[in-house]
Amino acid sequence: MLALGIAAGVVLSGRLSTSTPTSAAALEPAVQAPVAFPRSPDGALPVLSDIAERAIRASVNISSTRYVRIDPFFQLFYGADAVQPQTSLGSGVIVSADGYVLTNSHVIGNAADEIRVTLADNRELTAQVVGVDELTDLAVVKVDANGLEPLPWGDSSRLRVAEWVLAVGNPFAFSQTVTLGIVSTVSRIDPQLMTYSDFIQTDAAINPGNSGGALVNDRGELVGINTMIFSQTGGYQGIGFAIPANVARRIMDALITDGEILRGSIGNVTYRPVDSETARRLGLPQARGARIHQMYRNDPAFAAGLLPDDVILRVNDNDIAEPGQLMRLVADAPVGATLTVAAVRLTRSGPREFSVSVPVVQMRPPRRRY
């Protein structure tokens, strides 16, 4: 989950709560990438109906139900062991003919949840969790089915600004919804997002329930996995984000092969962007870097000599522009490696730049059981 408290809220677009009425081995491509679909007579717009119909057949509704104990007050009336279901809804994309489905990790919820997948033909199947990578907000589940129709993979690195895309999913539990838009930005990296992955930004309507759904180009290829929106209201405002297909496919293959993703870590450290006032006090020419916000005494970063309010400027030979870049560099570093971290600290005598060597340990996995 992304931190709250920024001027406009970043909202995960899946895991739409339905508990109350007011809550809102690596795979080979199963099919060859199709040729571009025909255009309208004047050539201005693609004919999108064939693309949409195919994308709908590859899209699923995912529901996860958790049984929780009721409020202690009501236990007096219903008994100490009384529980009530809490159901959340999201979307997913079929990625293999034999039942692998790609979605967001926040859609499937806790591993103890009961997860069900509803296909486009209304078949409802129980799903098993294959693996989860919370850092990229991706998960793979498996249903017992064959002869499914996956979408072909597209190359997200070849996307261009203003290219037509379709977002397919189940917003607000309205299944098999298709919305049209363009690619607004091909690689959105922003301090307000502070996440591992850079994103495809699109103005195709994405709303709660769309998470885990497909972002499809005008050739009918899967180019992204819809994951969140940036909104002041919690609903569509034309700023949606999708995990690029190239990232999603790499993570998916590793989850299917190994069941997990090994990530590097320098401890349970959180960061904040560097604002202009901090840059001025530290004598930095620009507001760049990652300011350490919080850390623990048993963190490798603390043991190496880093402290809260230090601003990290470089890791090895990489200049740090913002916290998300630092998170990606550390997470991708091999476990057991040593990172050379250059930082600046404000002391009584003024700013002081220094360098420390920080060992990379394995990121603690999420507390899940499959």
Given this model, what pLDDT does residue 190 score? Answer: 64
How far is it, in rounded angstroms, from Cα 191 to Cα 193? 5
Given this model, what pLDDT does residue 231 score? Answer: 81
- One-letter amino acid for residue 214 of the chain: A
Higher pLDDT, 40 or 356: 356
How far is it, in rounded angstroms, from Cα 141 to Cα 179? 25
Question: Which class for 139: exposed (0-12), middle (13-18), buried (19 or more C-beta within 10 A)?
Answer: buried
Which has the closest alpha carbon to 109: 139, 136, 80?
139
User: Is 30 a residue whose pLDDT tops 60?
Assistant: no
Lowest-confidence segment of 194-198, 212-216, 338-342 by average pLDDT = 194-198
Given this model, what pLDDT does residue 110 score? Answer: 72
Residues 154-204 have pLDDT tens digits of: 999 999 999 999 999 999 989 999 999 999 999 887 656 656 678 999 999
Is 106 an active-site residue?
A: yes
- Give, in order, the Cα–Cα distances in Å from 180 to each of 45, 162, 246: 11, 12, 22
Lowest-confidence segment of 34-48, 114-128, 317-331 by average pLDDT = 34-48
Lowest-confidence segment of 77-81, 114-118, 241-245 by average pLDDT = 77-81
Which has the closest alpha carbon to 227: 246, 202, 251, 252?
202
CATH of range 9-33+46-258; options 3.40.50.80, 3.60.20.10, 2.40.10.120, 1.10.580.10? 2.40.10.120
Higher pLDDT, 74 or 201: 201
For the 264-362 domain, the top CATH level (class) is: mainly beta
Annotated catalytic residue, options 63, 96, 156, 211? 211
Average pLDDT estimate for 33-53 = 67
Is 105 an active-site residue?
A: no
How far is it, in rounded angstroms, from Cα 38 to Cα 204? 21
User: Is 227 a residue whose pLDDT tops 80?
Assistant: yes
How far is it, in rounded angstroms, from Cα 107 to Cα 88? 7
Q: Cα 44 to chain center, whole Å?
A: 33
Annotated catalytic residue, options 133, 137, 203, 310? 137
Is 198 an active-site residue?
A: no
Q: pLDDT grade, residue 21 (50/70/90)?
A: very low
Which has the closest alpha carbon to 196: 105, 71, 297?
105
Annotated catalytic residue, options 64, 106, 197, 203? 106
Average pLDDT estimate for 120-126 = 95
DSSP state of 23: -
> For the chain, what is the total number of helices (H) and then of strands (E)?
7, 22
Task: Map out the domains of the chain as residue ranges.
Answer: 9-33+46-258, 264-362
Question: Which class for 94: exposed (0-12), middle (13-18), buried (19 or more C-beta within 10 A)?
Answer: buried
**Contact (CB, 8 A) for 197 and 87:** no
